[in-house]
Structure 1
């Protein structure tokens, strides 16, 4: 296993492109700006290396970070708050999940992203059918419509139909500001405990 410590955002980007690691653990705030350099470097690397697993660490909840990271829908993403990593086992589990192509978001991050309506309700996942929940779970694993179709033994057209129904039931209307797929995945990650997820049918 190679461990590479970058002291700047440009250095991080160069290292990611050169070494193409199995997983990059990235601090969002890096020199020289100490703002969002780490995030920008990670996004730039994922544009060149599709699906490069990235685990972001940050001190505070800032909505734009998770939304931008998940926007390419390639999977292999995570965003944790530094002061909420409570154990080595927990952190290792997150690393394995992200490295395998899954998505892990700190509940605080997800909550911030989902507080969008004045009445403060979370997305009504209970409205989804069993098949729609299966599609959403696979979507949350970073799978494309084609991969979801193969996993569930249905057509891509059926996956698209289920996805549209999911967005409608979660009240995720099209807009210039929101990525409905991202918000649906975040709703799922926050609201459904791991042990309660419905396994895909075979």
Structure 2
């Protein structure tokens, strides 16, 4: 696997590069700003992009905008975004066109090596990795009637779905049967007016698209 890293902090950039190298993942380029990120992506066509949201010169959303632009140029390009803070609007922008090959993690999650590497592999493989705190904030921002119709357990299952967990993983975490999880998911899609699918990425996309539309109107 070859990655391009975009992070303005020299120490963090070097740390991530070293961490990936230890498990056999090659860093094709490591840059410090959005413009250089786009150049590196076009040159190296990596298997994954790891980008900070806030980078020079304004330290607002340069990394995210570069990642979005890259995905438009290279449809399906896996992108794992990291941020110091929970910035729900940025997460919505990133996943608005689908969660296949998309991740959004808080930087504190990078400190957990096992979790970070799992997210890297999952996103590079076309899956998704959305930080639980980001999902929780997006759920909290959504206050329209469809979500209010969900039970507490259905809301919990919805949050785990949005993190990219499979039915089996949700069942294990909640200590319930997989059949119970499938029933909850069926009820969720029914109450939200969304068509159920066995494709977990499509389920996540439907959930987050809904959260996007409600957040915009709220």
TM-score range, shorter chain: 0.5 to 0.7
Report what 1:170 is aligned to. 192
Give the drift of 1:7. 1.7
Residue 57 of structure 1 aligns to a residue in which SS? Answer: strand
Assess, with a 3 A threshold, how the Cα gap between structure 1 residues 20 and 81 changes in structure 2: closer, same or farther.
Answer: same
Q: What are the ranges of 5 or more consecutive residues in structure 1 without an aligned counterpart? A: 128-132, 142-161, 173-178, 187-202
Please list the CA deviations of residues 127-150 of structure 1 after superposition, one character each: whole Å capped at 9, or x if unmatched.
Answer: 7xxxxx9xxx7xx59xxxxxxxxx
Correspondent of 2:208 among 179, 182, 185 = 182
Match of 1:31 in 2: 56
Q: Which has the higher contact order (CA 8 A, sep 6+)?
A: 1
5 Å matches for 1:50-199? 50-73=75-98, 75-115=100-140, 116-117=142-143, 123-124=150-151, 166=189, 168-170=190-192, 180-183=206-209
Q: Please tell me the root mean square deviation across aligned C-alpha atoms, in Å.
A: 3.7
Change (3 A) 1:43 1:122: farther
Runs of 4+ in 1 over 4 A off after TM superposition: 118-127, 183-186
Task: With the length of structure 2 as denominator, give the TM-score of the two structures.
Answer: 0.58
Which sections of structure 2, spanning at least 5 residues, go unmatched? 1-25, 166-184, 195-204, 213-218
Would you say how many aligned residue pairs link Structure 1 and Structure 2? 151
What is the CA-CA distance between 1:17 and the residue it aligns to? Answer: 2.0
Q: CA distance change for structure 1 residues 125 and 28 in 2, over 3 Å: closer, same or farther?
A: same
- C-alpha distance in 1, partners of 2:135/2:29? 29
C-alpha distance in 2 between matches for 1:105 and 1:55: 9
Structure with a larger share of its residues in strand: 2
1:90 shift after superposition: 1.3
> Normalising by structure 1, what TM-score?
0.62
Are residue 11 (structure 1) and residue 33 (structure 2) matched?
no
Q: Which has the higher helix share?
A: 2
> Does the 8 Å contact 1:124/1:170 carry over to 2?
no
Distance 1:39 1:80 in 2: 13
Question: How far apart in 2 are the matches of 1:111 and 1:42?
Answer: 23
